[in-house]
Structure 1
Amino acid sequence: MTTVTTAGTAAPAPVRRPALDWRLRFGALSLIWGFSFLLIKVGTDGYAPFQVTLGRLVFGTAVLALAMAVKRARLPRGLRTWGHLAVAAFLLNALPFSLFAYSELTIPSTLAGICNATSPLWGMALSLVALSEDRPSRVRVAGLGIGFLGVLTVLGAWQGFHGLDGRGTAMALLASLSYPVGWIYVRRTLAGSGYSHLSLTGAQLLLATVQLAVVTPLFTSFPGRVAVVPLLAVAALGALGTGLAVLIQYGLVAEVGPTTAQMVTYFIPIIATGAGVAILGESLSWSTPVGAVIVLAGAALTQVRGKGRAR
Structure 2
Amino acid sequence: MKNLNQKWIYLLVLSLIWGSSFILIKKSLGGYTALQVGGLRIVFASVLLFILGFKSLKTLSKKDWKWITIAGLCSSFFPPFFFALAQTEISSGITSILNSVTPLLTTLVGLAFFGLFLKGRQVLGVLIGLFGAVVLIVAGMENNVDQNYWYALFVIISVVGYAFNINIIKKYLSHLTSLAVTTASFGVAFLPALIILVYSGVFQQFVGNSAMHEAVWYIMALAFLGTALANILFNKLIKLSSPVFAASVTYLIPLVAVSWGFLDGENISVLQLLGGLIILFGVWLLNRKRQ
**TM-score range for the pair, normalised by the shorter chain length:** 0.7 to 0.9
Q: Is structure 2 residue 72 aligned with structure 1 residue 122? A: no
Matched with 1:11 is none
Q: Which of 285, 292, 300 is residue 276 of structure 2 equivalent to? A: 292
| 8 Å Cα contact 2:50/2:183 also seen in 1 | yes
Matched with 2:81 is 98
Q: Which of 32, 36, 39 is residue 51 of structure 1 equivalent to? A: 36
Unaligned runs of 5+ in 1: 1-20
Partner Cα separation in structure 2 for residue 119 and residue 292 of structure 1: 16
TM-score normalised by L of structure 1: 0.75
Which structure has more helix as a fraction of its residues?
A: 2
Alpha-carbon distance, 1:210 to partner:
1.7
Change (3 A) 1:164 1:285: farther
Partner Cα separation in structure 1 for residue 224 and residue 136 of structure 2: 31
Alpha-carbon distance, 1:139 to partner:
2.1
| 8 Å Cα contact 2:182/2:232 also seen in 1 | no
Q: Which of 250, 256, 264 is residue 271 of structure 1 equivalent to? A: 256
| 8 Å Cα contact 1:104/1:112 also seen in 2 | yes
Q: In the comparison of the two structures, how many residue pairs are matched?
A: 277
Superposed, 1:17-32 pairs within 5 Å as 28-32=13-17
Aligned-partner residue type, residue 163 of structure 2: P
Partner Cα separation in structure 2 for residue 132 and residue 179 of structure 1: 17
Alpha-carbon distance, 1:134 to partner:
1.1
Alpha-carbon distance, 1:30 to partner:
3.5
Alpha-carbon distance, 1:198 to partner:
1.7
Q: Which of 180, 183, 186 is residue 202 of structure 1 equivalent to? A: 183
Partner Cα separation in structure 2 for residue 267 and residue 63 of structure 1: 27
Aligned-partner residue type, residue 80 of structure 2: F
Q: CA RMSD in A?
A: 3.3
Alpha-carbon distance, 1:102 to partner:
0.7
Once the two structures are superposed, residues 222-274 of structure 1 have per-residue CA deviations (whole angstroms, 9 ceiling, x without a partner) of 363441121111111111111223344567778xx336877654442221111
Q: Is structure 2 residue 130 aligned with structure 1 residue 148? A: yes
Unaligned runs of 5+ in 2: 1-5
| 8 Å Cα contact 1:151/1:295 also seen in 2 | yes
TM-score normalised by L of structure 2: 0.79
Q: Which of 142, 155, 165 is residue 182 of structure 1 equivalent to? A: 165
Change (3 A) 1:216 1:154: same
Aligned-pair identity (%): 24
Once the two structures are superposed, residues 143-169 of structure 1 have per-residue CA deviations (whole angstroms, 9 ceiling, x without a partner) of 33323322332222897x954522222
Aligned-partner residue type, residue 193 of structure 2: L
Change (3 A) 1:173 1:301: farther
Partner Cα separation in structure 2 for residue 237 and residue 79 of structure 1: 31
